Amino acid sequence: MQLTEAEVAVLQQRAAEAARNSYSPYSHFRVGAAILLHPDVRQDGAMVAGTNVENASYRLTCCAEQAAIAAAVTLYGPQIRIRAVAIANLNGAASMPCGACRQTILEFSTPETAVFYPNADGETVSTTLAELLPAAFRLATE
Ligand code: THU
């Protein structure tokens, strides 16, 4: 089922709140991500947020989306499925999920997983993970 505008707004708000805790002394790009979990697996309506955590060894940086997913698995277990992800930043910039984050979201996605992110004009882009990551890599054993 599609999310209502109000549900998307709440998810975006949670993402923006998480971005306020961003640890980004190198890029100064303050990102937050909030995920809405699928109601099928018990945690009806649960939302979990994360922010980016950078490191002086730059490549060790953890993206906001990955932080949110790690927190959700920690809180609710390995069976979680993501109904929607909203991304926000406090820099007034576009922030679509990076390639690595798309692959990380895929791991817990369904064919309908929705993604909301701001474009460069601050407008919300509403899309799906399937659209953002076509021909995605999955293990053949799945
Ligand atoms: N970043 C995210 O948190 N999510 C993304 O999908 C793209 C990039 C963070 C990583 C780094 O801290 C900063 O944004 C600049 O790349």
CATH value at residue 96: 3.40.140.10
Task: Annotate 91-119 with DSSP letters as a single string.
Answer: SS---PPPHHHHHHHHTT--TT-EEEEE-
Q: Is 40 a residue whose pLDDT tops 80?
A: no
On whether residue 118 sits in a domain, the answer given is yes
Count structural domains, the chain: 1
| Position 20 confidence tier, pLDDT thresholds 50, 70, 90 | very high
pLDDT mean over 114-128: 97
Q: Is 14 a residue whose pLDDT tops 90?
A: yes
Least confident range from 41-45, 98-102, 126-130: namely 41-45
Among 22, 28, 29, 133, which is best to mutate for testing ligand 1, by the most ligand atoms less than 8 A from CB? Answer: 29
On whether residue 126 sits in a domain, the answer given is yes
17 tagged catalytic: no
pLDDT mean over 91-120: 97
Catalytic residue among 17, 65, 112, 142: 65
Percentage of residues in the chain having pLDDT higher than 90: 89
128: containing domain: 5-132
* 93 vs 89: CA distance, rounded Å: 7
